[in-house]
Structure 1
Amino acid sequence: MIASDREVYLEPVFERLEERDILSQKCERSLLIGIQDEGDSAFEAENHLNELASLAETMGIPPVHTVMVKLRKTNPRTLVGKGKMEEIRDLVHEVQADLVIFDYDLSPSQQRNLEYDMNITVIDREEVILDIFADRASTREAVLQIALARMQYSLPRLTRAWTHLSRQRGGAKGTRGKGETQLETDHRMVLKKIASLKKELAQVRKNRETQRKRRRSLPVPTLSVVGYTNAGKSSLLNMMTGADVLAEDKLFATLDPTSRRVHLPGGRQVVITDTVGFIRKLPHNLVEAFKSTLEEAVMADAVIHVIDISNPEWREQRKVTEDVLDELGAGDKPVLLVFNKTDKLDDPEELHHFLNNEKHTVVMLSAKTGFGKEKLEMGIQEVLEAELPVKSLLIPADKWDIVAYIRRNSVVMVEEYVDEGIRMEAILSAKDQKMLNEYIKV
């Protein structure tokens, strides 16, 4: 985290809101509450609770105990029934927890009531993810995006940060005057801050779009690496480029997109961009705030979808990623499926029956050991050739304007002089294929 950026964008919002920053509270022991809804299997609920435990570890507040609650009926006041709430309260004292985390999206009133009844800080899954993102942000754009998401999350929860609601502020020019509560004033201040953050983000997004256009003006295909958090996306990029992109065995190690140029066998060049990882129930405010970052996937020529095949929940994680891509408008992009972390499998051969029925090109990979790197490169070429095929052209010797156009707007693999003119092999967009059709030789 860049401290100065955080001070600028998360500060005077204010100091009272920062008091709700779980990371600043020095909590050390969390009690996790898993929720098994009707329709959820015990296996699914347990895996979701394990994921919450990983989030808590990433947050730096490891769980000391977990509780699974079978939720047959939702209590509008506290989510769980009175008896279960009292059981959790007793357990808090027994295990000496200083934070309770629900694997559920609590309403503002439910959070407030649970905290009041149990006399302990209570947060939900969304707040955990927001705090992790806030701690991991390292660029101005990421800090702005997360500040906006946290403000939008905090707005309906202001009463949790303020215990002085009865305090009155005297009248002042431009305000509602005598009798206005501190809460109303703070509510207006947060709305003003949200508007300010949106304005700043609009400018940052404009700059990103300029950079994106500049990159796309280069005649080089682009691919975006997507996948569930901790699937190994950054490790894949490091393996292919030798670059040192942050790759930790942690959730959300990457928040900012990183682009690298890669030379494939045969001379073809591509630009590959790493992106923020997805997760089950990714907060809507984060999806909105990170839209310009996630749009890297929308703008790419193809998508490399990385899946942690060693995770028993990989099918659900795959669906989560595909659903987010659909939401972003990138669901119809050409896809290369990469089943990563094969080094953790006892018998990778077990997957072959599944791979034979897969509609996408599939690569088995271990970014850690380098196993499958050559097949990955071949898979990228296969996907790109289907989307942006290499075409053979014969240009008459007097058509130098056509030759110049192809050089400017495509990746030229071969260019040589022959008796009939200039023979070229180049990667052409669909538009250019149509325009240059008379020069293309089958």
Structure 2
Amino acid sequence: MKLIIQGGTPLRGRVRVAGAKNSSLVLIAASAISGEEVYLDNVPRIADVKTQMEIVRALGGQVSWEGSNTLHLKWHGSLNSDIPYNMAKKIRASNLFLGAMAARKGSIKIPLPGGCNIGSRPMDLHLKGLSMLGFDVSLEHGYIEARPGKLKGCSIYLDFPSVGATENIMMAAAGAPGTTVIENAAKEPEIVDLANFLNAMGGRVRGAGTDLIIIDGVTKFKGTRFSVIPDRVEAGTYMIAAGVTGGEVTVENVIVKHLQPVIAKLQDVGLTVEPNEDKIYVKRTGEIVATDIKTLPYPGFPTDLQSPMMVLLALAKGTSLIVENVFENRFQVADELKRMGAKIQVKGHTAVIEGGKELSGAQVKAPDLRAGVSLLLAGLAAQGETEICSAELITRGYERVVGKFSSLGANIRGLTEEGDGVELRTALAAPENENNTAGQTGF
């Protein structure tokens, strides 16, 4: 799939952020713990959610859309234990069913998960945590298998505050007898969302959002209704887009606290940023200047917004430095940006950007999800036409990206590989033959 962008138009207007991709995926998996019916509101209609729904069905659960952004999940009766390879290879979050099924005292067999090639994301910490809780865990021939053994709460120290490992351990511990303490836990907002969701189902989790999480295991869970937090990465993308295009955008449906690291950096480069309750106004009024960025686990600057910030810094006056401390392959977008005229030198985990260069439209290819949307931003800022190949990767994390950017004034359209113009409906992220009441076009 391709996107064609005519650049040079400042974005102006309001845009509403969807529910958080990274929270939705773990909550869909965690809903299996209930053994009952769960309603998840504010779920984005994106490709990764569609894949997670397919995994739910493969395991024997039921899931359907109700209205535009509500998922109805049913987990009655016994479940299957195998996740098909063709599903697991699409999405890293397939591994989150390990912890969820463990909490149900069920067995689970999953191929090593896929997702974007942004660097090494080993499963060691996940497996260590499950093993310490008493699960019989094995990794052989590319498959992870976990079976319930003599379960008991324990203290688990994570060598790195891995979000996925923290989530899997939290879910597994929620159903293990006794008390589990996770030290050096991840602090991301999505971790807090999971803790609140587990508690809504009858769990007993406290300390989420700090580096010490305590879980008292329970024997009975229940169904619930829960609303997913807004997507801070999508919000940050539109905030950066205002700066990249020299426009002014109000980003709505946000939790301002989650975006403080992004707000600080955008103010550093000279943008006007005005937070107000659940929305943030961003405007570029003049020249933007260089700054340095180091990605870190939350509450540091998010690695998922490093690539979009690289585009902004390529336009800023002066030399900027980006140090990537989370994923070693997160600089793949640099080569594509250089095709558009950016001056970027990458050495190991560091990128040096000599800004102030005008970008020109070119044919480029998205190497991963966040790089894809970064090339979209670059296309909006460039003179002339930009063609992004493999643009379907963007649909993994952004709901209605064509429609939302178009509503802000962007000149952007989708094309099939054969070159025919298309409007991609939100049904891309919904099951076939299922009612789609969103009535919206775009990715």
Same fold (TM over 0.5): no
Structure with bigger strand share is 2
Higher relative contact order (CA 8 A, sep 6+): 2
Larger Rg: 1
